[in-house]
């Protein structure tokens, strides 16, 4: 259970988050959609404590994480996995070491067990046998999937996905959507998925939320989104440049 209230963050010259309210129930997958640059990544970084809000509250299982010190935050973060928009792979490490870094740093598993787990997670994202490669020699889509394997390596309770299907071909995107669904069904993970890929959004979402001008302007189930008369949501879902949201 994640409960966000009145989250505000000013960055540079912009009020990026201007009072975000959002609930993510246990075991639920919430898709956050919104245009590029509206602050979706910034919102995810607040949930995992990488950014500190100017105001507002974020509760994880009833525990307030705003104002926590780095050490307390680390205890919370161990329950999370995060896929970064840029994948953020460690480019001095191999793919295998990237996926295994959390296992090696936090759990005293025997080395064969670490390798087995790394191979398994890479297989889940459709990348068997690439352990020895360096991130620099991977394509964008492969990097994303390695980032995903790293995010799920520690069996997190919560997973934050920042544009998991951006840069993937439609077939791979569908496989990753299936993986996100599978994580939720098999391990009852609670997830926040940031995306503007509507095909993917409909497939993985229990609920969808739209972030616009620093606020959540709409939440609803996929069926409610399909049926809504909310002009901004309709425009976004249809991918239209005419409507209440000005393209430029």
Ligand X SMILES: Nc1ncnc2c1ncn2[C@@H]1O[C@H](COP(=O)(O)OP(=O)(O)O)[C@@H](O)[C@H]1O
Q: Counting contacts by CB under 5 A, is residue 41 touching Mg ion? A: yes
Sort strands 80-83 and 158-162 into parallel, antiparallel or unpaired. Answer: parallel
Which is closer to ligand X, CB of 157 or CB of 200? 200
Which is closer to ligand X, CB of 13 or CB of 229? 13
Q: Counting contacts by CB under 6 A, is residue 50 touching ligand X? A: no
The one among 4, 30, 31, 40 contacting ligand X by CB under 6 A = 40
CB of 229 to another protein, least distance (A): 38
* 74 CA to centre of own chain: 18
Using CB distances below 5 to 8 A depending on partner kind, what does residue 89 bind out of another protein, ligand X, Mg ion, none? Answer: another protein
Which is closer to another protein, CB of 153 or CB of 237? 153
Binding footprint of another protein, residue count (CB under 8 A): 24
Q: Counting contacts by CB under 6 A, is residue 12 touching ligand X? A: yes
Phi, psi of 180 (to 5 degrees): -60, -45
The one among 90, 107, 178, 188 contacting another protein by CB under 8 A = 90
Which is closer to another protein, CB of 159 or CB of 210? 159
Q: Counting contacts by CB under 6 A, is residue 14 touching ligand X? A: yes
Q: Which residues bind another protein (CB under 8 A)?
A: 45, 48-50, 70, 73-75, 77-78, 80, 82, 84, 86, 88-92, 101-102, 105-106, 154
Q: Which residues bind ligand X (CB under 6 A)?
A: 11-12, 14, 16, 34, 36-42
């Amino acid at each position: 259970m994640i409960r966000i209230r009145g989250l505000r963050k000013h960055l540079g010259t912009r009020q990026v988050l201007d009072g975000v309210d959002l609930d993510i129930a246990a075991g639920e997958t919430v898709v956050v959609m919104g245009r590029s640059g509206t602050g979706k990544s910034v919102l995810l970084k607040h949930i995992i404590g990488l950014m500190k809000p100017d105001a507002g509250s974020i509760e994880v299982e009833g525990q307030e994480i705003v104002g926590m010190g780095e050490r307390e935050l680390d205890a919370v973060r161990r329950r999370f996995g995060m896929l970064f928009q840029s994948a953020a792979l460690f480019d001095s490490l191999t793919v295998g070491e990237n996926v295994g870094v959390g296992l090696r740093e936090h759990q005293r598993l025997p080395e064969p067990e670490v390798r087995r787990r790394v191979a398994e997670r890479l297989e889940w994202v459709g990348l068997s046998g690439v352990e020895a490669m360096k991130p620099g020699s991977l394509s964008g889509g492969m990097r994303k999937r390695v980032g995903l394997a790293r995010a799920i390596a520690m069996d997190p309770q919560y997973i934050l996905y920042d544009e998991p299907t951006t840069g993937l071909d439609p077939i791979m995107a569908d496989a990753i959507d299936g993986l996100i669904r599978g994580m939720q069904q098999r391990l009852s993970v609670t997830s926040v998925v940031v995306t503007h890929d509507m095909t993917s959004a409909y497939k993985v979402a229990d609920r969808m939320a739209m972030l616009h001008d620093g606020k959540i302007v709409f939440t609803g189930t996929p069926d409610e989104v399909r049926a809504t008369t909310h002009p901004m949501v309709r425009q976004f879902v249809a991918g239209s440049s005419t409507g209440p949201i000005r393209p430029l």
